[in-house]
Amino acid sequence: MKLPNRYLRNHSLISEDEQELLRTKSAAIVGGGGLGGHLAEQLARLGIGRVIVIDGDVFEESNLNRQRFSTESRLGLGKAECIKNELKDVNSEVEVISHQTWIDGSNGLQLLKDADVVMDGTDNIPTRLLLQRLCEELRIPLIHGAIGGWFGQVCVVMPGDRTLSRLYPNEEMTGVEKHLGNPPFIPALVASLQVAEFIKLIFGKGELVRNSILYVDTLNNQAIKIDI
């Protein structure tokens, strides 16, 4: 089967067989804000088969500085549904399912059960640890990302690794996102690194950031992989 021309620029990295494989895969993105919008767009442009967007929030004025699908005309509208509508124009071949709801212990298994991989676009530690638990129960890999100020981090959590439990030993810990601020360049960078891990995971290529954290410091031009 001849692939559409839209994927021609993928081919230096992604073979035709891999492109076809990608079209059979589904990713659940939890959080449609700074990270989530970029995650959704990049996966759609790559040619994934299905994107599931889960977020109970609406766009607010404070989102305009960094969130990919936040615009003045969308203030007050649900993030998940806006991303779904926007992705139709990005790539109509991708099935997009939106859940305008917060994920929790009562609905999480149902929301994530059809995903091959879960992408973490959340902004708080309890939800990250919940995702780890849900993904372990479902036997689904989780690709974690977090941002704050000039800094970001990424890792792949395979079922049973419990990397986030070592990273966040206390569920009551407070993330740094709200204290350090979130400029527009950090969500785009960290989401890109998460998508790169997704592609390596799906195709079995390269070395995953597993049982470790890739820590990025754009202020001092450093990227450090730290074993956990």
Poorest-pLDDT segment among 3-12, 29-38, 198-207? 3-12
CATH topology of domain 14-227: Rossmann fold (3.40.50)
When pLDDT is cut at 50, 70 and 90, the band that residue 171 belongs to is low
Domain boundaries, the chain: 14-227
Query: pLDDT digits over 136-168, tens only?
Result: 999 999 999 999 999 999 999 999 999 999 999
Q: Does 179 score more than 80 pLDDT?
A: no
- Statement: residue 173 has pLDDT above 70: no
Average pLDDT estimate for 16-44 = 96
Q: Inter-axis angle of helices 34-46 and 185-203, to 10 degrees?
A: 40
Lowest mean pLDDT among 69-73, 77-81, 120-124, 171-175: 171-175
Band (178; pLDDT cuts 50, 70, 90): low
> Which phi and psi (to 5°) does residue 224 adopt?
-125, 130
The most distant pair of C-alpha atoms in the chain lies apart, rounded to whole Å, by 52
Residue 152 in contact with residue 193, Cβ under 8 Å? yes
Return the pLDDT at 186.
94
For the segment 35-73, what is each residue's pLDDT rounded down to a tens digit? 999 999 999 999 999 999 999 999 999 888 898 888 999
Terminal Cα distance for the chain, rounded? 44
pLDDT of amino acid 12:
85
CB 97 within 8 A of CB 35: no
Mean pLDDT for 107-130 is 97
Q: What span, in angstroms and rounded, lies between the C-alpha atoms of 20 and 11?
A: 12
Kindly provide the residue ranges of all beta strands, DSSP E only, lying in 124-211, ordered along the sequence.
142-148, 151-157
Please write the tens of the pLDDT for every residue from 188-202: 999 999 999 999 999
At residue 177 the predicted structure's pLDDT band, cuts being 50, 70 and 90, is low
* Predicted pLDDT of residue 183: 87
Give the closest residue to 121 by CA, choosing from 190, 204, 205.
190
Return the higher-pLDDT residue of 212 and 70: 212
For 77-115, how does the pLDDT look when each residue is reduced to its tens digit (9 = 90+)? 999 999 999 999 999 999 999 999 999 999 999 999 999
pLDDT at position 189 is 96
